[in-house]
Chains A and B, each alone.
Chain A
Amino acid sequence: DQQVKQNSPSLSVQEGRISILNCDYTNSMFDYFLWYKKYPAEGPTFLISISSIKDKNEDGRFTVFLNKSAKHLSLHIVPSQPGDSAVYFCASLGNQGGKLIFGQGTELSVKP
């Protein structure tokens, strides 16, 4: 039972354009969400997060939007750069302690 889903395994975007990565979750009790970025042969690194009391959080070129009624969050990258090419995981904080529940990941390719 996948509680956090990223339905797009891959996304290709032109440099300078917007990248939109999507994530859906099933448990309305989840109250904190994170995005991680992963390059090949490296561990994931934290990118940006959002609490359920907000609907938007922005950090430079990265913005995360949360739609609680739809149980959906998205990550916007504007403008996209070739160095953004990586696998992006969304994650939600589970109901118990500091455990994170991850989605399957979306591989973003930004073409020059």
Chain B
Amino acid sequence: DAEITQSPRHKITETGRQVTLACHQTWNHNNMFWYRQDLGHGLRLIHYSYGVQDTNKGEVSDGYSVSRSNTEDLPLTLESAASSQTSVYFCASSESQRGYEQYFGPGTRLTVT
């Protein structure tokens, strides 16, 4: 069965470290998204991609970067982790044409100390 996975599921890191969160989907979807979930804010879009070599900034992109070298993966990198980036991160994907319904991964809980 097609799926979308995230790793690690939990991560503790120190302020200033570079961290990369992995997202892998086997749906063969062109669209991929990264969100963070914080209490009172819902899901906020960090970065998104509509295909290989395409990346775009979302609502809260400062301090984050992504790269899309193939269809299956969209890793999210925190260049220099800050305590404000402690959050739960979700990756999602959707079809190009019927892009409305996004399929989410299980999430990564990141704690920056």
Binding site for B on A (CB under 8 A): 4, 6, 9, 32, 34, 36, 41-46, 49, 89, 91, 93, 97-105
Interface residues as binary, B76-108 with A (CB distance below 8 Å gives 1, 0 otherwise): 000000000000001010101001111111110
Checking A4, A32, A99, A104 against B45 with a beta-carbon cut-off of 8 angstroms, the contacting residue is A99
Count contacts on B: residues with CB < 8 A to the other chain: 26
CB pair B42–A43 under 8 Å, yes or no, is no
A100 contacts across to B, CB distance below 8 A: 33, 45, 100, 102
Q: How many pairs of A and B residues are in contact by the CB < 8 Å rule?
A: 60
- Cα distance A9–B41 in the bound complex, in angstroms: 11
0 or 1 for each of B35-75: is its CB under 8 Å from A? (1 = yes): 10000111111001010000000100000000000000000
Docked complex Cα distance between A9 and B40 (Å): 8
Beta-carbon nearest neighbor of B35 in chain A:
A102
- For the complex, give the distance between the alpha carbons of A100 and B101 in Å: 9
Give the distance in Å from the alpha carbon of A9 to the alpha carbon of B45 in the complex.
20
Cβ distance B75 to chain A, nearest Cβ, rounded Å: 17
Supply 5 further A-B pairs (C-beta < 8 A) apart from A99-B45, A102-B43.
Answer: A6-B42, A49-B100, A89-B42, A97-B99, A98-B94
